[in-house]
């Protein structure tokens, strides 16, 4: 949370969330989830900044896949543009500002400022509005996003610039936002 000492320092949130079913607990890319043990029980997740991801775990991943209640969601370029438009409209009506966003087939990064210092609340708004707009776009209701996500608080110019650069350099971008403008993504991969 922002303190009075940091009141004069620029502040932004780097919010990330994934498409439903695309990054399951136990994923071979690593994960921040409890790791299930075949004999029962689990190894508790370590979700502390600086802690490395837990390594992939086939048993945990297969169990998570079997527990999925909805089909895995992946975005295509048209879905990604819908998400970008939805995000810009949602923040504009609230007088917030997206510094940078990247929408990929399986996840979304948003660097946002002039918003409340409450990552979970801001993330819920962004996900909720884009979920509703995607469903209107496709003409039926489905689950697009996983529960939760990541909220990284950025204080100071350097932290914000680092997050901006990280998001700008994402691979496999389908759509992007730079300073509230949706920008073309050359050679966007298919969803």
pLDDT in tens, 16-53: 999 987 876 666 766 555 555 677 776 666 555 555 56
| Residue appearing with tokens 């996900």 | 127
Domain CATH code at residue 114:
3.30.70.1290
Q: Which pLDDT does position 4 carry in this prediction? A: 38
Q: Which pLDDT does position 33 carry in this prediction? A: 59
- Verify that 41 and 11 share a domain, yes or no: no
- Verify that 56 and 13 share a domain, yes or no: no
Q: Which pLDDT does position 108 carry in this prediction? A: 98
**Any domain includes 26:** no
- Verify that 93 and 177 share a domain, yes or no: yes
In this structure, are strands 150-155 and 107-113 parallel, antiparallel, or unpaired?
unpaired
Q: Which pLDDT does position 81 carry in this prediction? A: 97
Burial, 48: exposed, middle or buried (Cβ in 10 Å; 0-12, 13-18, 19+)?
Answer: exposed
- Low pLDDT (below 70) residues in the chain: 1-7, 24-27, 29-37, 42-57, 61, 64, 188-191
**Any domain includes 138:** yes
- Verify that 62 and 147 share a domain, yes or no: no
- Verify that 96 and 156 share a domain, yes or no: yes
Looking at the structure of the chain, the number of domains it has is 2
For residue 33, the Cα-to-chain-centroid distance in whole angstroms is 16
């Amino acid at each position: 949370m922002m303190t009075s000492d940091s009141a004069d320092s620029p502040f932004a949130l780097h919010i990330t969330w994934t498409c439903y079913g695309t990054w399951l607990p136990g994923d071979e890319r690593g994960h921040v989830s409890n790791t299930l043990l075949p004999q029962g029980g689990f190894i508790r997740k370590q979700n502390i900044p600086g802690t490395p991801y837990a390594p992939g775990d086939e048993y945990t991943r297969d169990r998570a896949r079997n527990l999925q209640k909805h089909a895995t969601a992946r975005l295509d370029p048209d879905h990604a543009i819908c998400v970008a438009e939805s995000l810009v409209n949602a923040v504009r009506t609230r007088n917030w500002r997206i510094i940078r966003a990247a929408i990929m087939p399986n996840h979304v990064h948003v660097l946002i400022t002039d918003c409340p210092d409450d990552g979970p609340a801001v993330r819920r708004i962004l996900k909720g509005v884009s979920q509703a707009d995607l469903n209107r776009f496709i003409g039926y209701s489905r689950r697009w996003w996983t529960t939760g996500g990541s909220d990284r608080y950025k204080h100071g110019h350097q932290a914000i610039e680092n997050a901006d650069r990280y998001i700008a350099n994402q691979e496999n971008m389908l759509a992007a936002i730079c300073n509230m403008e949706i920008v073309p993504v050359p050679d966007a991969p298919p969803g």
